[in-house]
Amino acid sequence: SQKIEQNSEALNIQEGKTATLTCNYTNYSPAYLQWYRQDPGRGPVFLLLIRENEKEKRKERLKVTFDTTLKQSLFHITASQPADSATYLCAWMDSSYKLIFGSGTRLLVRP
Amino acid sequence: DTAVSQTPKYLVTQMGNDKSIKCEQNLGHDTMYWYKQDSKKFLKIMFSYNNKELIINETVPNRFSPKSPDKAHLNLHINSLELGDSAVYFCASSQDKGSSYNSPLHFGNGTRLTVT
């Protein structure tokens, strides 16, 4: 079955460092991946979309890569800040045109 | 201006009751969704409507019935509530529906349903 997996363990880093979150997918080749941020008690908020023919996408301190050979997308936050602490979700559209979300990785940035 | 709003934010009810959750979007989007987020934080799609037409109907109990009176509204009615229905339900909207489109989803802030 088509699967999308994120590291379920929380990522705990020091302010100013780069946070790197991983999204792996199996048994399917999505045309694009989306990344969302979710804060406690709130709905997910869209951050970035990357297409399969794009190696890298940037938006301010955020960078997303898409490696179709490794079947992996990496999400980077440079110069991380405590305000970046949240859960980050990757999502892809499966062969039935449903947007499927990973379980998310919780990021904690220590001051 | 809230783009996707859902009410109520919290809903506590007893087993066997019937309840509804309402959702409205003011983004002018054509497609609306209901997602369920369980205690393990998995977001799972339940339904999707495009211009009031049901286009995605996942394997959910038929106690759950979505209703779309117009393309700006998608309500969720749940009959005979069970303990396992306790979760956070999110409404979302997007400009386009599946296929080759890749519009991001705009989510509401969720309705936390607790069934006792």
| Residues of chain A contacting B98 with CB distance shorter than 8 Å | 93, 96-98
Identify the CA nearest to A98 among candidates B75, B92, B39.
Answer: B92
C-alpha–C-alpha distance, residues B114 and B116, integer Å: 6
CB contact under 8 A, B102 and A103: no
| Residues of chain A contacting B99 with CB distance shorter than 8 Å | 97
C-alpha–C-alpha distance, residues B37 and B86, integer Å: 9
Q: Is B25:B106 a contact under the CB 8 Å cutoff?
A: yes
Regions of chain B where pLDDT drops below 70: 1-2, 97-101
Q: pLDDT value at position B101?
A: 54
CB contact under 8 A, B42 and A32: no
Identify the CA nearest to B29 among candidates B109, B78, B101.
Answer: B101
Residues A39-81 pLDDT 10s: 999 999 999 999 888 889 999 999 999 988 888 999 999 999 9
Q: pLDDT value at position A18?
A: 97
Which residues, including other chains, have CB under 8 Å from residue B70's CB and lie 6 or more apart? Answer: B52
Which H, E and C letters describe chain B, residue by residue? CCCEEEECCEEEECCCCCEEEEEEECCCCCEEEEEEECCCCCEEEEEEEECCEEEEECCCCCCEEEEEEECCEEEEEECCCCHHHCEEEEEEEECCCCCCCCCCCEECCCEEEEEC
Residues A13-28 pLDDT 10s: 999 999 999 999 887 7
Q: pLDDT value at position B11?
A: 97
Give me the residues paired with residue B88 across strands.
Answer: B37, B112
- Determine the residue of chain A that is closest to B47 in CA distance: A98
CB contact under 8 A, A101 and B43: yes
Residues A87-106 pLDDT 10s: 999 998 877 778 889 999 99
Minimal C-alpha gap between B17 and chain A (Å): 25
Q: pLDDT value at position B58?
A: 84
Whose tokens are 């519009």? That residue is: B103
Q: pLDDT value at position B26?
A: 96
Query: Does A100 contact chain B (CB < 8 Å)?
Result: yes
Cα distances (angstroms) measured from residue A104 to each of A95, B1, B54: 21, 28, 28
Q: pLDDT value at position A48?
A: 95
Whether A1 shows a pLDDT value over 70: the answer reads no
CA angle A61, A22, A47 (to 5 degrees): 40
From the list A45, A49, A87, the residue facing B102 with the nearest CB is: A49
Q: Is B106:B3 a contact under the CB 8 Å cutoff?
A: yes
> What is the secondary structure of A5-41 as a DSSP string?
EE--S-EEEETTSPEEEEEEEES---SEEEEEEE-TT
